[in-house]
């Protein structure tokens, strides 16, 4: 039993559990701040209030130096629940649309390469980052994956983590705000679309959600899939839904709490380096994020006529944000989450492959001391 528990912890919690009571209190404090931020966003009729409100509040708390902790273990625990919730809204029409979207992957790859090269040039010209650090800061991959790979290259991992976190934060904030003001997306009560309240869900359905989250997550991790604890439960639920084995719907309270955990975790990660370079790096991170968004938007507009899908569907599929965050936006917008997640997984997989290739090249380069 102990070995099984340790294996579960290794699969779902890449980081250690709270070290002591003080660490746990900091995480609870962060969740409290995130909850207040979510309530504020609900009052302002902002989209995705549970995720964006908690993210904004915790980011502000982190910047001013409040003693908050990152509930990364809770985030890891809730992401499989998000996967099941997203998979439960899958429809047979998604397969047809996903095949059509495949034609746009070439445009997405071209946009990612162009954005990465542009951001790399920006970092090299305006900062003292070395080549390797600039490469990993400029690639729109998964935050965790880029940090892990950069650590293997012996670069400035702290800067990579900061720039990647700023990118995800900026994308997750900017994209739904664009839809808020361009398409009038509002959720005044913080309601989760396409969901049912927990009071209407039976214990059998809740147990089934937990089982799919666990089995799908473990299987995907063992298969070493990108964003495994999200993708595994999602596609297992899709399989069960299409096969008529299950007939689940997202539970609104579960999704809201998952968004709260995710937003709090992302917001609290905005730790800053030295006071002198922090403002400059933050500005560059935001600028690079908008460069990536711009290239993704151009690619999305270029392919919408060929894939016969609405712009917001394609843009969310191409946007350089985190997979869970983009999937939740798709759910909020009523877009097909399976298409968004599938294309995002393809995007992340390509970036990881490219990063591994660059990692081998960079680690083979002879190191110099800068003298002629």
With the C-alpha atoms ordered 220, 258, 81, 315, is the resulting torsion angle positive or negative? negative
The answer to whether 83 touches 216, Cβ cutoff 8 Å, is: yes
Residue stretches of the chain with pLDDT short of 50 = 1-9, 11, 13-16, 187-189, 367-372
In a domain, residue 40? The reply is: no
Does residue 251 sit in helix, strand or coil? Answer: strand
Q: Is 43 helix (H, G, I), strand (E, B) or coil?
A: helix
Q: By three-state DSSP, how is residue 147 classified?
A: helix
**Please, which residues have CB within 8 angstroms of residue 130's CB and are 6 or more apart in sequence?**
155, 156
- How many whole angstroms separate alpha carbon 74 and alpha carbon 34? 14
249, burial (CB in 10 Å: exposed 0-12, middle 13-18, buried 19+): middle
pLDDT in tens, 269-316: 766 665 567 788 889 999 999 999 999 999 988 888 777 778 888 888
Domain count for the chain? 1
**Exposed/middle/buried for residue 307 (C-beta within 10 Å: 0-12, 13-18, 19+):** buried
What sign has the CA pseudo-torsion 35, 39, 44, 46? positive
First to last CA, the chain: 61
Can you tell me the distance from the alpha carbon of 37 to that of 53, in angstroms, rounded to the nearest whole number? Answer: 4
218 located within any domain: yes
Residue 195 has phi, psi (to 5 degrees) of -115, 170
> What is the per-residue DSSP string for 9-27?
HHHH-SSPPP-SHHHHHHH
- Determine phi and psi for 196, rounding to 5 degrees: -125, 150
**Contact (CB, 8 A) for 337 and 90:** yes
| Residue-level pLDDT at 82 | 80
Rounded to two decimals, the pTM is 0.65
Q: What is the pLDDT of residue 371?
A: 36
Residue 57 domain flag? no
User: Taking a C-beta distance cutoff of 8 angstroms, is the pair 142, 348 a contact?
Assistant: yes
Q: Which residues are registered as beta bridge partners of 196?
A: 251
> What local confidence, expressed as pLDDT, does residue 191 receive?
56
The reply to whether 106 falls in a domain is: yes
Q: How far is CA 165 from CA 3, 196, 274, 288, 341, in A?
A: 34, 32, 17, 12, 20
* Residue 60 covered by a domain: no
Is 145 among the domain residues?
A: yes
Q: Can you tell me the distance from the alpha carbon of 328 to that of 335, in angstroms, rounded to the nearest whole number?
A: 10
Give the separation between CA 105 and CA 120, rounded to whole angstroms.
22
Vertex 362: Cα angle to 127 and 137 (nearest 5): 40
- Residue 350 is assigned to a structural domain of this protein: yes
Contacts of 244 (CB under 8 A, 6+ apart): none
Give residue 217's domain range.
86-185+194-246+273-364
Helix residue ranges per DSSP H, the chain: 2-12, 21-43, 54-64, 72-87, 93-101, 105-126, 131-138, 143-152, 157-182, 203-222, 228-242, 252-268, 278-307, 311-318, 323-333, 337-364
In a domain, 233, yes or no: yes
Per the CB < 8 A criterion, the answer to whether 68 and 36 are in contact is no
**CA–CA separation, 137 vs 156, rounded Å?**
10
């Amino acid at each position: 039993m102990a070995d099984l528990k340790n294996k579960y912890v290794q699969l779902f919690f890449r980081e250690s559990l709270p070290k002591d009571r003080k660490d746990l209190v900091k995480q609870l404090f962060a969740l409290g701040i995130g909850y207040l931020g979510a309530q504020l966003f609900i009052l302002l009729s902002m989209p995705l209030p549970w995720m964006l409100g908690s993210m904004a509040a915790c980011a502000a708390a982190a910047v001013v130096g409040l003693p908050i902790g990152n509930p990364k273990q809770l985030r890891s625990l809730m992401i499989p629940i998000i996967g099941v919730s997203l998979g439960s809204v899958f429809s047979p029409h998604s397969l047809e649309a996903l095949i059509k979207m495949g034609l746009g992957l070439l445009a997405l790859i071209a946009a990612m390469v162009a954005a990465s090269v542009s951001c790399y040039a920006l970092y090299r010209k305006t900062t003292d980052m070395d080549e390797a650090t600039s490469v990993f800061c400029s690639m729109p991959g998964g935050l965790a994956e880029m940090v892990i790979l950069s650590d293997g290259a012996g670069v400035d991992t702290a800067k990579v983590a900061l720039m990647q976190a700023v990118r995800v934060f900026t994308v997750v904030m900017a994209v739904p705000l664009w839809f808020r003001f361009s398409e009038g997306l509002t959720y005044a009560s913080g309601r989760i679309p396409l969901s049912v309240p927990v009071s209407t869900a039976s214990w059998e359905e809740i147990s089934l959600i937990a089982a799919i989250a666990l089995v799908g997550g473990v299987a995907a991790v063992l298969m070493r899939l990108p964003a495994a604890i999200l993708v595994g439960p999602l596609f297992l639920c899709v399989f069960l839904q299409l096969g008529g084995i299950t007939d689940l719907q997202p539970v609104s309270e579960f999704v809201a709490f998952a968004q709260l955990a995710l937003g709090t975790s992302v917001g609290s990660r905005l730790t800053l380096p030295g006071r002198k370079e922090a403002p400059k790096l933050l500005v560059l991170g935001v600028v690079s994020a908008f460069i990536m968004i711009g290239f993704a938007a151009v690619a999305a507009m270029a392919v919408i006529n060929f894939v016969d899908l609405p712009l917001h569907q394609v843009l969310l599929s191409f946007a350089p944000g985190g997979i869970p965050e983009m999937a939740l936006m798709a759910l909020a917008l009523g877009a097909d989450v399976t298409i968004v997640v599938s294309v995002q997984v393809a995007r992340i997989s390509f970036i990881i492959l490219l990063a591994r290739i660059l990692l081998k090249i960079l680690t083979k380069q002879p190191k110099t001391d800068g003298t002629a």
